[in-house]
Chain A
Amino acid sequence: AQKVTQAQTEISVVEKEDVTLDCVYETRDTTYYLFWYKQPPSGELVFLIRRNSFDEQNEISGRYSWNFQKSTSSFNFTITASQVVDSAVYFCALSGGTYKYIFGTGTRLKVLA
């Protein structure tokens, strides 16, 4: 069975703090894809990153970075120097070689000015 767990329901930080959103997944597939999406208050889903199971390189994009560790089945997302505009719900998702995305329940991030 495939599963994505985002244990942090809600996180509040003060602007400029760093914050890490945790994502733990379960799958028996050897080939799979992991994703992060942002859902701002306006409600749309904004694609942030896709990572396949053979690529364990960490990635940095501006203030965003992702740490993929197969050994712990985790794909964590860090925002450096958070800003109020980062306030959103963040979803981690898994696609196990099929067309179905398995989403976590999301982490609501509140960045306070």
Chain B
Amino acid sequence: NAGVMQNPRHLVRRRGQEARLRCSPMKGHSHVYWYRQLPEEGLKFMVYLQKENIIDESGMPKERFSAEFPKEGPSILRIQQVVRGDSAAYFCASSPPQGVSTEAFFGQGTRLTVV
């Protein structure tokens, strides 16, 4: 049983480039959540998606950030025109259709460094 898979594990981007972070949920899981962990801080909720639907993006910055979870394939968190302040660890979590009544399983994270 593979866990939540995130790739890449590490990503370096120059200011102004685009960053694409991928997340494949656990088998049978249809809910995906993205969290951001800034250095020396806890995780902060960004967005909640189900297949082909964004359910809640209240934690996402209004500009440059977008997320999708297509019918086929992984969930993608996209950051356009990255800035130094985007440097962080981005974690994806997934849960089964029962949602929050069970724990969310986290991936290993993608560490984005903007230089």
A45 at the interface (CB under 8 A from B): yes
Inter-chain contacts of B44 with A (CB < 8 A): 103
Q: How far in angstroms is the closest Cβ of chain B from A103? A: 4
Cross-chain contact of A47 among B33, B106, B109 (Cβ < 8 A):
B106
Q: Is A43's CB under 8 angstroms from B100's CB?
A: no
Q: Which residues of B contact A97 (CB under 8 A)?
A: 100
With A91-B43, A101-B35, A106-B42 as contacts: A44 and B106 at CB distance below 8 Å: yes
Give the residue among B43, B56, B108 with the most A Cβ atoms within 10 A: B43
Q: How far is the CA of A104 from the CA of B44 in the complex (A)?
A: 9
Chain B residues near A103 (CB-CB < 8 A): 35, 42-44
Chain A residues lying within 8 Å of B55, measured Cβ to Cβ, are 99
Q: Which residues from chain B contact A106 at a C-beta distance below 8 Å? A: 41-42
Q: Does A78 lie at the interface of the complex (its beta carbon under 8 Å from any beta carbon of B)?
A: no
Q: Given the complex of chains A and B, what is the CA–CA distance between A95 and B56 in angstroms?
A: 15
Determine the distance from Cα of A45 to Cα of B104 in the docked complex, in whole angstroms.
11
A35–B42 alpha-carbon span in the complex (Å): 13
Q: Which residues of A contact B48 (CB under 8 A)?
A: 99-100
User: In this complex, what residue of B is CB-closest to A105?
Assistant: B42
Select one of A37, A98, A105 contacting B100, CB under 8 A.
Answer: A98
Chain A nearest CB, measured from B35 CB (Å) = 7
Within 8 A of A (CB), among B59-106: 59, 89, 91, 93, 95, 99-100, 102-106
Chain A, residues 17-58, CB within 8 Å of chain B (1/0): the string is: 000000000000000010101000011110100100000000
**Min C-beta distance of B69 to chain A, whole Å:** 14
Known contacts being A99-B48, A99-B100, A101-B35, is A43 close to B111, with CB within 8 Å? yes
B56 contacts A43, CB within 8 Å?
A: no
Q: Which residues of B contact A100 (CB under 8 A)?
A: 45, 48, 56, 59
For B109, list chain A residues within 8 Å (CB): 43-45
B interface residue numbers (CB < 8 A to A): 31, 33, 35, 41-45, 48, 55-56, 59, 89, 91, 93, 95, 99-100, 102-109, 111
